[in-house]
Amino acid sequence: MRDDERSSEFVAFTRAHRTDLMRTAALLCAGDEAFAEDVVQTTLTRLYLAWGRVRRADSALAYARRSLTHVFIDEARRAHRRRESVVADPALALASEPATATADLATRELVRAALASLGPRQRAVVVLRHWHDLDVAETARILGCSTGTVKSQNARALAHLREHLGTLDRLTLEVS
């Protein structure tokens, strides 16, 4: 494939799907926009280097999301050593918001903090299963683990989110 052909396809793909990848990355990174941007940039570079595979994939976007998940997990593992983990209690995080915060901002902060308190792989399971609506088998394939692991991680993650987001309605009402 000629380089200009690859480049033009890459630009078209990026123009069409970067926003989608950034939204997914933001969820995986629990709202850390700078980290999400890093993950997206690394993913796009990997896609360019393997553009032949992207072209051969049944769905280029699905291929890209899978690469993005791998990049995130790799980076999260490294980040664990160099970044300070976000372990703030979501309720405390919300309490630190200005009293004038809108309901949307409060909800976002609550959800972000709840996601941040999950481990990277649990977060990936939540995003793949409940944001992209992938089934257990496909999620397991992307994460390279068994379907049983996906089910157990998903159950634990949902229980955790339910515990932290159970007050969402009440909090939303409170700040409305």
Partner 1 sequence: MTSDDLKHALESVAATERPATDPAADLARARSAARRRTRRRFRAGLVGVASVAVLAVGVSVVVDDDGPGAPTVIASSGVELVAKTFEATPYTFDLTPRGWSVQAQQPTAVTIVPDDGSTSSDPDVFVGKLVILFDANPPDGRVVDRDGRRFWVSGDSGYTTLATRTTPGEPSGVVRIQYPKGAGWDEASMVDFLASVHVGPGARHGLG
Binding residues for partner 1, per CB under 8 A?
7, 10-11, 14-15, 18-19, 22-24, 26-27, 30-31, 33, 41, 44-50, 53, 56-58, 66-67, 70, 73-74, 77, 104, 107-108, 111-112, 115, 126-127, 130-131, 137, 141-145, 158, 161-162, 165-166, 168
Tokens 């609550």 sit at which residue? 110
**How would DSSP label each residue in 65-126?**
HHHHHHHHHHHHHHHHHHS------HHHHHHTS-TT--HHHHHHHHHHHHHHTS-HHHHHHH
Q: Which is nearer to partner 1, 53 or 83 (CB)?
A: 53
| Smallest separation (angstroms) from partner 1 to the CB of 49 | 5
Tell the smallest beta-carbon distance from residue 58 to partner 1 (Å): 8
Any residues with CB less than 8 A from the CB of 91 and at least 6 apart, and which?
Answer: 110, 164, 167
Q: Smaller CB distance to partner 1: residue 83 or 162?
A: 162
Considering only CA atoms, which of 155, 137, 154 is closest in space to residue 146? 137
Q: Which is nearer to partner 1, 23 or 151 (CB)?
A: 23
Q: State the minimum distance, in angstroms, from the CB of residue 99 to partner 1.
A: 19
CA–CA separation, 127 and 115 (whole Å): 10
Residue type, 169: D
Q: Are 61 and 14 in contact (CB under 8 A)?
A: no
Dig out the tokens for 146 from the structure: 């068994």
Specify the residue, 49 or 155, whose C-beta has the smaller distance to partner 1: 49
Q: How far is the CB of 85 from partner 1 (least distance, A)?
A: 18
- Complex with partner 1: residue 16 or 89, whichever CB lies closer: 16
Smallest separation (angstroms) from partner 1 to the CB of 4: 11
Angle at 19 between CA 15 and CA 24, to 5 degrees: 140
